[in-house]
Amino acid sequence: MPYMFISTQIRLNGPTNVGDEYSDPAVMNYLGARKTTMLGNNFSEYHVDDPPRMVLDKLEKIGFRVLTMTGVGQTLVWCLHKEIE
Amino acid sequence: MPYMFISTQIRLNGPTNVGDEYSDPAVMNYLGARKTTMLGNNFSEYHVDDPPRMVLDKLEKIGFRVLTMTGVGQTLVWCLHKEIE
Amino acid sequence: MPYMFISTQIRLNGPTNVGDEYSDPAVMNYLGARKTTMLGNNFSEYHVDDPPRMVLDKLEKIGFRVLTMTGVGQTLVWCLHKEIE
Amino acid sequence: MPYMFISTQIRLNGPTNVGDEYSDPAVMNYLGARKTTMLGNNFSEYHVDDPPRMVLDKLEKIGFRVLTMTGVGQTLVWCLHKEIE
Amino acid sequence: MPYMFISTQIRLNGPTNVGDEYSDPAVMNYLGARKTTMLGNNFSEYHVDDPPRMVLDKLEKIGFRVLTMTGVGQTLVWCLHKEIE
């Protein structure tokens, strides 16, 4: 899984969405993420309470780097990439 | 076709739009995409059920890399590029 | 003119705006663009019917590469750059 | 001043905002910019009539390159950077 | 803390938000930032009166470079990164 997304609602504080139901459990565990299913959704997501800046710092330590960031609606999304060895 | 776009509606879950009617059939076939024409549109598109993260991981294996990503309206768009050998 | 912009209205289908009245006529001719003045505008623009993906593929052949892409209002804009020899 | 911003209102035509009151007067003079204070603002800005594409072409000649571009509200903003020798 | 965000409300003038409550106090002190808690918020933030361009120039001197910039709602956000030695 070379690509990874994290996202937050407009403010740069947490919580931060760090994964979807197919995300790598080892990375989710490393981040201390909890799997939740929001009311009305038929899919689950992974969240942490940390703000996105701290999540990016943690992800850099295991090889993921920010490629680009964008806003869509009220959501900020970061697209990260890890080079495959 | 060195450039490729994929897009989704606001959430980072699928389905993912992976092509237009002029897209390379070999790439569309590799992704398992189906060609559809939405009601009221006079053009067709290719979709997969996979979330965009999984589509990007698959596309990296055949040489496409994310250049940039943006939000426009309620849509997230990724612009990918493949170096011509 | 090392920089170039192309843009489309929200969908990734054409038509594509490929230039303004000061754009290089040789590049506009290469793309097969037509110069038009929209009702109510006091400036002219160049358009092609091709979707942006095909325009980017054509522009790569003459040395322009995508630097970045963004959405503003309902418009998607690509910023391209050509290295000066 | 290694960083510089230019911006326009939604269309890719001029006028283009090229600086704030602390911008380098030599660069503002090179671009032929005029300093103005909009009604109701308590700060001044620099503008040129050129479209952003022509401003970017001029700025490249003195070492500034586009890092990234984004839309916010109805405004398009370019972030440029010049390597410090 | 290799990653850092700064943000402003739509205009390219200050004040500029330069940190959250977990930001590196040494960097906040270097920028001359003051810690504030906005009415109704249960978290604090760091602000400076400088416009974002001047903040970026200062941050470059201590090793942070702009990776990408985006707009979300009425806010402009810059994502900076510092290589770990």
**Which of B7, B69, B72, B81 is the mutation pick for testing C, counting most C CBs within 10 A?**
B72
Indicate the pLDDT class of residue B84, thresholds 50, 70 and 90.
Answer: confident
Indicate the pLDDT class of residue C65, thresholds 50, 70 and 90.
Answer: very high
Q: What pLDDT is attached to residue A13? A: 81
From CA D77, how far away is CA E18, in angstroms rounded? 19
Q: What pLDDT is attached to residue D85? A: 65
**CB within 8 Å: A53 and E81:** no
Q: Which class for C73: exposed (0-12), middle (13-18), buried (19 or more C-beta within 10 A)? A: middle
Which residues in C43-54 are b (16+ Cβ under 10 Å) and which e? Answer: eebbbbebbbbb
Q: Which class for C15: exposed (0-12), middle (13-18), buried (19 or more C-beta within 10 A)? A: middle
Indicate the pLDDT class of residue C41, thresholds 50, 70 and 90.
Answer: confident
Q: What pLDDT is attached to residue A57? A: 96
Task: Using a CB–CB cutoff of 8 Å, tell me whether A43 touches chain B.
Answer: yes
Determine the distance in angstroms separating the CA of A81 from the nearest CA of chain E, rounded to an integer: 14
Interface size C-D, in CB pairs within 8 Å, comes to 58
DSSP letter at E23 equals S
**CB within 8 Å: C53 and B20:** yes
From CA A72, how far away is CA A3, in angstroms rounded? 19
**CB within 8 Å: B13 and A75:** no
From CA E18, how far away is CA B41, in angstroms rounded? 46
In sequence order, what are the beta bridge partners of D34?
D47
pLDDT tens digits along E33-43 = 999 988 788 78
Structure tokens at C74: 């309902």
Give the pLDDT mean for C27-48.
90
**Which of B6, B9, B12 is the mutation pick for testing A, counting most A CBs within 10 A?**
B12
**CB within 8 Å: A81 and B66:** yes
Among A26-35, B28-37, C34-43, C46-55, the least confident range:
C34-43
Among B18-22, C51-55, D23-27, D35-39, the least confident range:
D35-39
**CB within 8 Å: A20 and B10:** no
Q: What pLDDT is attached to residue D50? A: 93
Flag whether pLDDT at D59 surpasses 70: yes
Complex prediction ipTM: 0.90
Closest CA to A75 of D2, D35, E75: E75
Q: What pLDDT is attached to residue C40? A: 81
**CB within 8 Å: B20 and C13:** yes
Flag whether pLDDT at B85 surpasses 70: no
**CB within 8 Å: D53 and C22:** yes
Residue predicted with more confidence, D38 or B44:
B44
pLDDT tens digits along B47-81 = 999 999 999 999 999 999 999 999 998 899 999 99
From CA E33, how far away is CA E16, in angstroms rounded? 9
**CB within 8 Å: E10 and D77:** no
The full DSSP string for B11-58 is SSSS-EEEEETTS-HHHHHHTT-EEE--TT-SS-EEEESS-HHHHHHH
The dihedral formed by the CA atoms of D21, E25, A67 and C16, expressed in degrees to the nearest 10: -30
Q: Which class for E71: exposed (0-12), middle (13-18), buried (19 or more C-beta within 10 A)? A: buried
Which chains share 3+ C-beta pairs under 8 angstroms with C?
Answer: B, D
Which chains share 3+ C-beta pairs under 8 angstroms with E?
Answer: A, D
**What is the amino acid identity at position E58?**
K
Beta-carbon contacts of residue C6 (< 8 Å; ≥ 6 apart): C16, C17, C18, C52, C55, C56, C59, C77, C78, C80
Flag whether pLDDT at C85 surpasses 70: no
Residue A74 neighbours by CB distance under 10 Å: 12
Structure tokens at C25: 């006529």
Task: Using a CB–CB cutoff of 8 Å, tell me whether C13 touches chain B.
Answer: yes
Structure tokens at C64: 């322009």
pLDDT tens digits along B4-36 = 999 998 778 889 999 988 899 999 999 999 999
How much is the pTM? 0.94
pLDDT tens digits along E57-68 = 999 999 999 999
Structure tokens at D72: 């916010």
Give residue for tokens 């997230």: B76
Task: Using a CB–CB cutoff of 8 Å, tell me whether C83 touches chain D.
Answer: no
Q: What pLDDT is attached to residue B47? A: 95
**What is the amino acid identity at position B77?**
V
Task: Using a CB–CB cutoff of 8 Å, tell me whether A63 touches chain B.
Answer: no
Structure tokens at D75: 């405004």
Flag whether pLDDT at A10 surpasses 80: no
Among B7, B69, B71, whose Cβ lies nearest the Cβ of C12?
Answer: B7
Task: Using a CB–CB cutoff of 8 Å, tell me whether D55 touches chain E.
Answer: no
Share of chain D above pLDDT 70, in %: 99
From CA E63, how far away is CA E20, in angstroms rounded? 19
Which residues in D37-60 are b (16+ Cβ under 10 Å) and which e? Answer: eeeeeeeebbbbebbbbbbbbbbb
Residues of chain E with pLDDT under 50: none
Among D13, D57, D76, whose Cβ lies nearest the Cβ of C43?
Answer: D13
The full DSSP string for C11-69 is SSSS-EEEEETTS-HHHHHHHT-EEE--TT-SS-EEEESS-HHHHHHHHHHTT-EEEEE
